[in-house]
Amino acid sequence: MTEQTPALDGAPLFLLDELADTAELLVPGPEGRHAVEVLRLQPGERVHVGDGRGVVVEGDVVAAGPEGLRVAVQERFEVPEPDPEFVLVQALPKGDRGPLAVDLATELGVDRIVPWQASRCVTRWRDDRVDKGVAKWRAAARAAAKQSRRPRLPEVTEPMTTREVCGLLADADLAVVLHEQARRPLAGLPVPPAGTVVVVVGPEGGLTDGEVVAFRAAGAEAVRLGPEVLRTSTAGAAALAALSVRSRWA
């Protein structure tokens, strides 16, 4: 297995929990049905199959039918973890904007997503709803990773408290809190070439003064994206794009 950092070409990517080390792979279940019934892939077409943890198989379709997609393996490689690591601490948005925030952040390259129950969150994940909420966010991340042909799925953690978020910020190589009243622009901060970069996005009602003080005490810098105030569901993706332009995309 070779180790490289290729950009997956136009061939679709399918994800399996485990990739067998065999000359031929079967993509079954919903993944296989999507390939056969929606994409209508035919024998001879090129595809990628990954495990969501960086290992990718490139191969050709040899059969497409009721059992799924059979792929003849041509090459197997591993895509290294990106550097710096991008972490998004996302306050729980209301309605379906949580999965939307996850979708956009995944497409923009986030590596870890931390749900955060901020003081002014309208949405509340009660104890009996945490598992369902996390599962919904993880499903959104998986779907977005396939669409954007990402060989590594972002991790969606269990929800964190404000105190736990402060610990995360203290350990980061760069930690920023998006705040509409901040004077310093995000574009003015140097991005470390390696390590961990954490971005905190507050809820629709905004951050409390206490949260801002706690985060700054933990080492985070309050920054603004620009003159406009973005929705909580889009602000994280915008910040990730701004950071990527000066690091991963440079």
Together in a domain, 69 and 186: no
Mean pLDDT of 120-144: 92
On whether residue 206 sits in a domain, the answer given is yes
Per-residue pLDDT of 14-29, as tens digits, reads 999 889 899 999 999 9
* CATH code (residue 30): 2.40.240.20
Q: How many domains does the chain have?
A: 2
Please give the pLDDT value at position 109. Answer: 94
On whether residue 210 sits in a domain, the answer given is yes
Averaged pLDDT of the chain = 92
How many Å apart are CA 118 and CA 162, to the nearest integer? 7
Whole-model pTM: value is 0.90
On whether residue 3 sits in a domain, the answer given is no
Please give the pLDDT value at position 200. Answer: 98
Together in a domain, 33 and 132: no
Query: 189: exposed, middle or buried (C-beta count within 10 Å: 0-12, 13-18, 19+)?
Result: middle
Together in a domain, 91 and 148: yes
| Residue numbers of the domain that contains 64 | 13-78
Together in a domain, 154 and 230: yes
Together in a domain, 157 and 91: yes
**Percent helix, strand, coil in the chain (nearest 5)?**
30, 30, 40
Amino acid identity, residue 199?
V
Out of 27, 43, 78, a domain closes at 78
On whether residue 1 sits in a domain, the answer given is no
Please give the pLDDT value at position 7. Answer: 53
Please give the pLDDT value at position 2. Answer: 41
* CATH code (residue 183): 3.40.1280.10
